[in-house]
Amino acid sequence: MLEEKKKILDTNVFLNRRKQHRIISEKEKNKRRYLILSVFLSLVIICGIYFLSKQSNIYRVVVSGNNYLNEEDILRLSNVTNDNKFLTTLPFVVEKNVKTNPLVEDCKVELLDGRLVKINVQEKKIIGYTYENNKSVLVTDKDERIELDRDNLYIINKVPLIEGFNQEDLVLIEKELVNCDYSIINEISEIHYYPELKYQYVEVIMRDGNYVFTSPYGLKLLNKYYDMESSYARDKHNCYYFEDISGNAYTSACPWQSEQESQEINSEEETQDSSQDYEYYEDEDYQEE
């Protein structure tokens, strides 16, 4: 009997201890739940306050690497403004947006300290524009044609017009202009075919008002244009001439100036011949009298 009572007593003690342990464990779990919930709610409140404040906005967007596209166009493509939240700006999304423009070769976006967003653009190299099928098209260094529209028409102010050449010469000119620096291409206004010259038939009109005559192979010498311009005290009636074989450059009378001088000389000769005939005619009249 005593043994049975003892067993029952031990069982009750065990159950009571187990029940107390369960109660204590539940209290600990509830404490942890409350703590986690408190932390979560605190973070939500802090994040809410942060995102509602202007301190969470992008402070500044910096655009670099663009030579042809305006900064405003790149910002419009990126869909990034100072009203966007810095922490929710995803670089790969911005890069994808900017690369929708056919002039953009590549784009890299960085999120920097101070809520600064940097957009670095690598554009395709444009060597000029021309007209094909009654449309204005940009010509890239890889012989790609990009049609100009109303949004990017301003780019023609930064690249030269190329016209008047047959397809063979056009290919040569595009190939040689690839070797010219951005700064030089931007300073060229127009490139025309000048049929009056047999070898130096490529007429290059610079934005500073100077004229350069060369062959398609001599266009690479334009990289030395600024050096040659400072070396020559060019008369306003003279033009630059580039020799593709020797690599030399010189100034001389412009082709139309030479033509004008020739016309003046021919006109003077005709006048002299005419005056001689007239004197001779007067002499004849005098003899007849």
Enter the pTM of the model. 0.69
Question: Which part of the chain has CATH 3.40.50?
Answer: 126-253
Strand ranges (DSSP E) for 133-183? 135-140, 145-147, 161-163
228, 232, 233, 237 alpha-carbon torsion, rounded to 10°: -80
According to CATH, the superfamily of the domain at 56-123 is membrane protein fhac (3.10.20.310)
Tokens of 177: 């202009």
Structure-token match 């590549």, residue found: 106
Per the CB < 8 A criterion, the answer to whether 97 and 73 are in contact is no
Per-residue pLDDT of the chain (289 residues; tens, 9 = 90+): 555 555 555 566 555 666 666 767 776 777 777 778 777 877 877 777 766 777 788 999 999 999 999 999 999 999 999 888 888 899 999 999 999 999 999 999 999 998 999 999 999 999 999 998 888 999 998 889 999 888 888 999 889 999 999 888 888 998 899 889 888 999 999 999 998 888 889 999 999 889 999 999 999 899 888 887 666 655 666 889 998 888 888 888 888 876 555 554 445 444 444 444 433 323 343 333 3
Q: What per-residue confidence (pLDDT) applies to 258?
A: 62
Tokens of 25: 């464990």
Phi-psi region of 26 (alpha: psi -120 to 50; beta: other; left: phi over 0): alpha
Tell whether domain 126-253 is in CATH 3.40.50: yes
Q: What per-residue confidence (pLDDT) applies to 13?
A: 58
Question: Which part of the chain has CATH 3.10.20.310?
Answer: 56-123
